[in-house]
Structure 1
């Protein structure tokens, strides 16, 4: 059984007590955002990741340093890694909810989406395979949108786990029913093998859908918690 830790938070204020935990590169990225909300999301993601990393590695949060060098372009916007450890982390945000998931030694992907949006036919045709489209075809419009975002978060999570993102066509991967436990049923892309992919739909928060994916053969044991900083 593989243990997966997930932490959620609402956006943190851009206060000195949090900003002082960012290194120079992270402060530069934080300053580059123009919108206050984007600054808060970046800061919150880093705080969640550092807090979770400190917990799992037995460190003080002040001692956690990330290397986020992108493997493709060399810029510091890749997924955060702790040099010298096999901890793997993934960050996602949507609306006013930010999440981080962590495990050890294997690729992991987290996705969260606001679930209040409508999924029109063009979006369903773009993202869902014929089998998935058939599964939602007889639902009401509201039910269809809710089911769509179950599929969408699963797809985003597995694509993030591979590190390839939307280079993997959405219609190349088919999942179990939206009302069934999350499972990758089939994949036409070599980066994803159903036998070596495990997923879980997450509770997240009211008004959101979320999923986590891990490239492993082990079953997942997922713990979700909301994180609140000390006063």
Structure 2
């Protein structure tokens, strides 16, 4: 059984005690955001990641140094990682909620979405497989939107875990029913093998939907905690 902690936080203020945890490249990324909300989300994600990494590695948070080099373009906006450490991190944010999931050195993806959005037919056709779309037939608009975003967060989570993003067609992936425990039923992409993919739907917070995906054969035991520094 793989034990995983998902840590949630509201956006942190841009205070010195948090800003000093950012290295030079992270300071540059923080400064490049134009919107204050985006600055705080980025800062919060990095503070969560460094705090959790420090706990796992037995370090002080300000001693944690990430390599965030993008594997595609070489710029420092990729997934943060500690070279050589038995640790994989995934950050996600939506609205006023930022989350961090940490696993041993196996691929992980975390996704959170606000639950107050609508799911129109175009979005459903774009994102869901025929089997998943059939599960939504006959639901009223609120129930349809709630069910859709269960699927959406599962799909975003597995995309993040593979690192391939939308290069995997969303319709090529089918999950268990939205009201059943999360499970990958079938995949049209070799990067996602149902036998080596584990998912859990998360509670996150009121007004949000979330899911975590780990590319492993182990079962998952996930604990969620809301962090206040």
CA shift for structure 1 position 84: 2.2
CA shift for structure 1 position 54: 0.9
1:21 aligns with 2:21: yes
Distance 1:223 1:90 in 2: 15
CA shift for structure 1 position 4: 1.3
* Residue in 1 that maps onto 2:174: 174
* Residue in 1 that maps onto 2:135: 135
Of residues 206-215 and 52-61 in structure 1, the stretch that sits farther from structure 2 once superposed is 52-61
Superposition pairs for residues 1-231 of structure 1, below 5 Å? 1-229=1-229
2:126 aligned counterpart, secondary structure? helix
Distance 1:172 1:191 in 2: 12
TM-score (norm 2): 0.99
Runs (5+) with no aligned partner, structure 2: none
Of residues 189-198 and 50-59 in structure 1, the stretch that sits farther from structure 2 once superposed is 50-59
1:76 aligned counterpart, secondary structure? coil
Distance 2:148 2:38 in 1: 26
CA shift for structure 1 position 63: 1.1
1:216 aligned counterpart, secondary structure? coil
TM-score (norm 1): 0.98
CA shift for structure 1 position 57: 1.3
CA shift for structure 1 position 140: 0.9
Distance 1:144 1:3 in 2: 32
Distance 2:121 2:154 in 1: 19
CA shift for structure 1 position 62: 1.4
- Pairs aligned (count): 229
Runs of 4+ in 1 over 6 A off after TM superposition: none
Of residues 173-182 and 62-71 in structure 1, the stretch that sits farther from structure 2 once superposed is 62-71
Distance 2:64 2:3 in 1: 21
Deviations 1:160-180 (A, max 9, x none): 000000111000100000000
CA shift for structure 1 position 16: 1.2
1:39 aligned counterpart, secondary structure? helix
CA shift for structure 1 position 198: 0.3
2:65 aligned counterpart, secondary structure? coil
